[in-house]
Amino acid sequence: MSLTEEIKNKVTVLDLVSEFVDLKKQGRLFKSVCPFHSENTPSFIVDPDKNMWRCFGACSTGGDVISFIMKKDSISFLDSLNFLKNKLGITTENFSSQKFKEIEEIKKINMLSAEFFKTSLFSTSGENVRNYLKNRGISKQSAIDFDLGYNPPGNKLSDYINNKGYSLDSLSKYGLVSKSKGETFYDFFSDRLIFPIKNQKKEILGFGGRILNDQLPKYINTKKNLAFDKGSVLYGIDQSVEYIRDNDECVLVEGYTDVIIAHQYGYKNVVASMGTAITTQQASKIADISNNAIIALDADQAGTEATLNALDKSWGIFASSNKDHPSGITNKSVRKNFILKVVELPDETDPDSFIRKDFKAWKTIIDDAKPIIEYLIKLLAARFDSSTPEGKELIEETVRPFISNERNPYIQDQYISMLSSQLDVSEQRIRAGFDNKSRIYFDSKNNFNNTNFMHNGKTRLLLLTEHLVSLIISNNITNKDLFNDWDLEMIDDTICKQLLYEWINDSDLNVTDANLTEKIDSLKLEKSVFYDNQKLLEVIGKLKIQIEREYLVMKNNALISNTDLNQSEIKDQIITIQNRIKNIDILLSNKN
């Protein structure tokens, strides 16, 4: 029996959730306001028969006991298993429990080390570091709140932990001790100011260390191990998570001291990426707890460069909001739009120095944060010469994916007109650019969720349908069996529906109806001729399931917003639909 099964045998969703949520029985189900987002009417449901939980509100997610803990503590699948294993007193040894043991040992050693660092900071040997903190404007209280510490020179930490019964080899494996060429051990963070890096549960996963003299590198951090991966942690999340959830806003900065100073001045929704580039894991962590992120990176060239590169990757996460949990059902389409903004700091400043200079101005600058697209257009216009055709094209090309990602058609219009005035190009010209590249709409994963998506007054469903019909017409496809397993009722455009119907039932598509011929002519303009038949069939197959998905998402949204979710048959119907959407997503991601 796997550990997952063992856990599920030991605790039901109802029992586990009841420990944390005040559930009220309602018919067959148990309900409550959602513990993960703020709401007045309960949309959080536990179904004891199916042994499942689900939020029908903003989270629009659900699952089993493991995914509940993952969501509650914003932790990984493995951490959730480990938590439940300990909680339920499961002692079976297997491969994963060996890993858990190591993770537990790392956390334990980190905790002991942090205590040692802290004691050192406030001992006589830490005087220089305390002076440094004072000069940087970091108060004693902040140093205590963030468990700052000091690793004295030499191998004092190694000795200390070694005396607690841990081998130097395991210390070295967990990155606290290094081995010199002469095979002698010394403290990895020797003579550095220490920033413990914690997860949301306030467990110490690793450390950052800053040197106080001119040596390089200025900052080092724990090497990747089973418990720590810098790219998947947000510094300060342990102190910020509640504030981020309560305000539904997360401010992302670069460095440790940016976070500490922000918190010291009362801005407690601030976390750091601990480096210039935000990773996709970090982006997804933020999207998991908030719908609004504001990026406030340093104003230097490297900072803006990194922002651009990072956004390119992480945008997908923000745009499609939270990732699927391996053991939950998720319907992304119902989730609210994620809003990403950027703060531009004055030259030569970082959030740390900015706040210390005038802490009240921080609120203003955050409130004035610009939507990412505005920032991008400005940034690119400064970089490329927007007076030349080449410059215009470069800027437009870079910004286009961000604009087409925008789900709200009115905001999308705003962006297009913004781009038009910035480039001094007519809006029609820019829209034409979108039309020429309209194929990106069919391949961009980020738009799958988007039922409100409109392009030239056409819904995504219609665009997909027209594309499908056009492929069939342009390529003289004769194999009608392609649509045996497919329900024509999923198409809502009557002309396309009729065309397909006639094509399926009449080999020549001998239409005389003026409406239909006009449509055929316009679709033929798409000129989607394929020379590779295999490829063509693949594209058609993909379009068929994309259309099905679009149809299901619409149906799902209609059911959720218009019906009483207490009716179990409707709930079952919704769950069936959502499972099918989930399967389609897997199918589509395999096809990409």
Binding site for Zn ion (CB under 5 A): 34, 36-37, 55, 57, 59
Residues 6+ apart with CB under 8 A from 571: 47, 565
Could you tell me which residues are beta bridge partners of residue 31? 24, 45
Minimum CB separation from Zn ion for residue 60, in Å?
A: 7
Nearer to Zn ion by C-beta: 58 or 234? 58
Are the C-beta atoms of residues 463 and 446 closer than 8 Å to each other? no
Of 539, 550, 321, nearest to 443 (Cα)? 539
Nearer to Zn ion by C-beta: 314 or 330? 330
Could you tell me which residues are beta bridge partners of residue 149? 194
Calpha distance 175→102 (Å, rounded)? 13
* Secondary structure of 361-415 in HEC code, one letter for each residue: HHHHHHHCCEEHHHHHHHHHHHHCCCCCHHHHHHHHHHHHHHHHHCCCHHHHHHH
Minimum CB separation from Zn ion for residue 190, in Å?
A: 47
Give me the half-sphere count of Cα atoms (radius 13 Å) on the Cβ side of residue 288: 24
Nearer to Zn ion by C-beta: 129 or 250? 250
Minimum CB separation from Zn ion for residue 37, in Å?
A: 4
Minimum CB separation from Zn ion for residue 44, in Å?
A: 6
Nearer to Zn ion by C-beta: 286 or 500? 286
Nearer to Zn ion by C-beta: 43 or 222? 43
Residues 6+ apart with CB under 8 A from 165: none
Measured CA distances, 297 to 149, 270, 280, 372 (Å): 25, 12, 17, 13
Could you tell me which residues are beta bridge partners of residue 186? 178
Minimum CB separation from Zn ion for residue 63, in Å?
A: 13
Calpha distance 86→64 (Å, rounded)? 17
By three-state DSSP, how is residue 151 classified?
strand
Structure tokens that stand for 433 in this block: 């650019």
Of 19, 38, 35, 31, nearest to 72 (Cα)? 35
Are the C-beta atoms of residues 60 and 34 closer than 8 Å to each other? no
Nearer to Zn ion by C-beta: 37 or 192? 37
Minimum CB separation from Zn ion for residue 58, in Å?
A: 5
For residue 373, how many other CB atoms are within 10 A of its CB? Answer: 22
Calpha distance 329→326 (Å, rounded)? 8
Minimum CB separation from Zn ion for residue 75, in Å?
A: 17
Minimum CB separation from Zn ion for residue 35, in Å?
A: 8
Of 284, 271, 277, 256, nearest to 74 (Cα)? 284
Nearer to Zn ion by C-beta: 246 or 518? 246
Minimum CB separation from Zn ion for residue 57, in Å?
A: 4
Are the C-beta atoms of residues 554 and 578 closer than 8 Å to each other? no
Residues 6+ apart with CB under 8 A from 96: 3, 78, 81
Calpha distance 340→394 (Å, rounded)? 23
Calpha distance 470→462 (Å, rounded)? 12
Nearer to Zn ion by C-beta: 37 or 118? 37
Segment (H or E) for 237: helix 237-247
Nearer to Zn ion by C-beta: 30 or 315? 30
Minimum CB separation from Zn ion for residue 217, in Å?
A: 42
Minimum CB separation from Zn ion for residue 38, in Å?
A: 9
Minimum CB separation from Zn ion for residue 188, in Å?
A: 42
Calpha distance 194→113 (Å, rounded)? 10
Calpha distance 164→48 (Å, rounded)? 47
Minimum CB separation from Zn ion for residue 471, in Å?
A: 40
Nearer to Zn ion by C-beta: 4 or 32? 32
Q: Is 65 exposed, middle or buried (0-12, 13-18, 19+ CB in 10 A)?
A: buried
Structure tokens that stand for 89 in this block: 């007193």
Calpha distance 211→219 (Å, rounded)? 7
Residues 6+ apart with CB under 8 A from 171: 109, 158, 161, 162, 177, 185
Nearer to Zn ion by C-beta: 94 or 566? 566
Nearer to Zn ion by C-beta: 57 or 206? 57
Nearer to Zn ion by C-beta: 239 or 290? 290
Minimum CB separation from Zn ion for residue 59, in Å?
A: 3
Nearer to Zn ion by C-beta: 36 or 189? 36
